[in-house]
Structure 1
Amino acid sequence: MRIALGVSYNGQAYKGWQSQPCGDTVQDHLEAALGRFATHEISTLCAGRTDAGVHGIMQVVHFDTELERTPFSWVRGPNAFLPPDIAVQWAQPVPDEFHSRASAIARRYAYVLLQSPVRPSVEAGRVGWVFQALDGQAMERAASYLLGEHDFTSFRASACQAKSPVKIMQSIRVTQRAGAGQPMESGRGAAHHVTPCYWRFEFQANAFLHHMIRNIMGCLIMVGQGLKEPQWMLDVLAARSRDAAAPTFSPDGLYFLGPVYDDKWGLPTRAPAYDWLP
Structure 2
Amino acid sequence: MRIPVALWIWYHGGPFRGFQRQALGPTVQESLEAALQTAGVPSTGVMPCGRTDRGVHARMQVVSFRIDPRDTPEALATRLPALLPPGIGMCVARRPHPSFHAQWSAEGKTYRYRVQLGGTVAPEWRPYVMEARAEPRLAPHDIAPGRLEELLRMAVGQRDFVAFHENSSPRKLRTLESVAVKELGGGLFEVILRGDAFARYQVRYLVGSALLTAAGGLPEERWQAALETGERITGLKAEAAGLVLWEVRYPAKLDPFTPAERAAPPGLPEGPPFLGAPEG
TM-score (norm 1): 0.84
The 3-state SS of whatever aligns with 1:75 is: helix
Q: CA deviation at 1:163?
A: 2.9
Correspondence list, 1:92-131, <5 A: 92-116=94-118, 118=120, 121-131=123-133
Q: Decide which structure has the larger Cα Rg and report it.
A: 1
Task: Indicate conservation of the 8 Å contact 2:208/2:236, yes or no.
Answer: yes
Q: CA deviation at 1:13?
A: 0.5
Question: Distance between the aligned counterparts of 2:269 and 2:211, measured in 1?
Answer: 25
Question: Distance between the aligned counterparts of 2:120 and 2:90, measured in 1?
Answer: 34
Q: CA deviation at 1:98?
A: 0.6
Q: CA deviation at 1:118?
A: 4.5
Task: Indicate conservation of the 8 Å contact 1:156/1:165, yes or no.
Answer: no
Correspondence list, 1:110-259, <5 A: 110-116=112-118, 118=120, 121-131=123-133, 132-158=141-167, 160=168, 162-179=169-186, 197-228=187-218, 230=220, 232-241=222-231, 243-259=232-248
CA change 1:86–1:23 in 2 (3 A) is: same
| 1:6-50 CA distance string (max 9 Å, x none) | 000000010100111234100111011111101531411011100
Structure 2 residue identity aligned to 1:208: F
How many residue pairs are counted as aligned between the two chains?
258
Task: Indicate conservation of the 8 Å contact 2:107/2:196, yes or no.
Answer: yes
The 3-state SS of whatever aligns with 2:213 is: helix
What is the root-mean-square deviation of aligned Cα atoms in Å?
A: 2.2
Q: Structure 2, unaligned stretches of length 5 or more? A: 134-140
Q: CA deviation at 1:120?
A: 6.0
Question: Distance between the aligned counterparts of 2:270 and 2:143, measured in 1?
Answer: 24
TM-score (norm 2): 0.84
The 3-state SS of whatever aligns with 1:141 is: helix
| 1:139-188 CA distance string (max 9 Å, x none) | 22211211111121100123x2x333321111111111232xxxxxxxxx
| 1:76-131 CA distance string (max 9 Å, x none) | 31222111210111010013311000000001110011223556644232111113
Q: Which moved more, 1:68-77 or 1:11-20?
A: 68-77
Structure 2 residue identity aligned to 1:244: I
Task: Indicate conservation of the 8 Å contact 2:16/2:25, yes or no.
Answer: no
Q: Structure 1, unaligned stretches of length 5 or more? A: 180-196
1:263 counterpart residue number: 252
Q: CA deviation at 1:5?
A: 0.4
Identity value in percent: 24
CA change 1:273–1:133 in 2 (3 A) is: farther
Q: CA deviation at 1:67?
A: 4.0
